[in-house]
Structure 1
Amino acid sequence: MELRLFYRTQRDLAAALNKLVDSYWQEEIKEQELIEGVKHMHENNMEKLIKNNQFTTVVQQQCGKRRLAVVERILKIN
């Protein structure tokens, strides 16, 4: 699965996160690919993903609790 480094909007970023996590859940990608993808997205799009120590409202609405729980766990591993 190929991911871009930079996303134009929060909606684009949320859609890419959804695709990445869903691919992992459907066993299309391995766990390590998921972890690396989330970390790269976070590093290059911090302001679109997290504000005031929580996910932005748009990302929360687009991704949902279950996906964001996975992303949050990955980011805390750092």
Structure 2
Amino acid sequence: MEIKMFYKTQRELGEVLNKVVDSYWSDEIDENDLIKAIKYLYKNNSSKMVKDKTFTTVIKQQCGKRRLEVINKILSIEDDY
């Protein structure tokens, strides 16, 4: 799976986050690759993913509760869904 370093919009970032988590759930990537990809995306796009210690509205709408639970556990972000 090819992942860019930086994304232009929150919507693009949300689509990639969905692909990464869905790939893990369908056993296309392993747990270590999932963790690396999520941390990599967060490191380079944190302002598009999180504001005031909560996921942005666009990311919440794009990714959904179940995916954000996985991402939250990896990043340890406190958030109410």
Indicate the residue corresponding to 1:73 in structure 2. Answer: 73
TM-score w.r.t. length of structure 1: 0.96
Residue ranges of structure 1 left out of the alignment (5+ in a row): none
TM-score w.r.t. length of structure 2: 0.92
Query: Following TM superposition, where does structure 1 have runs of at least 4 consecutive aligned residues deviating by more than 2 angstroms?
Result: none
Give the aligned CA root-mean-square deviation in angstroms: 0.4
Q: After TM superposition, list the pairs within 5 Å mapping 1:46-65 onto structure 2.
A: 46-65=46-65
Aligned length: 76
Question: Structure 1, residues 6-55: CA drift from partner, whole Å, max 9, x if none?
Answer: 00000000000000000000000010000000000000001000001000
Distance 1:70 1:39 in 2: 12
Indicate the residue corresponding to 2:32 in structure 1. Answer: 32
Shift of 1:2: 1.5
**Percent identity over paired residues:** 54
Residue ranges of structure 2 left out of the alignment (5+ in a row): 77-81
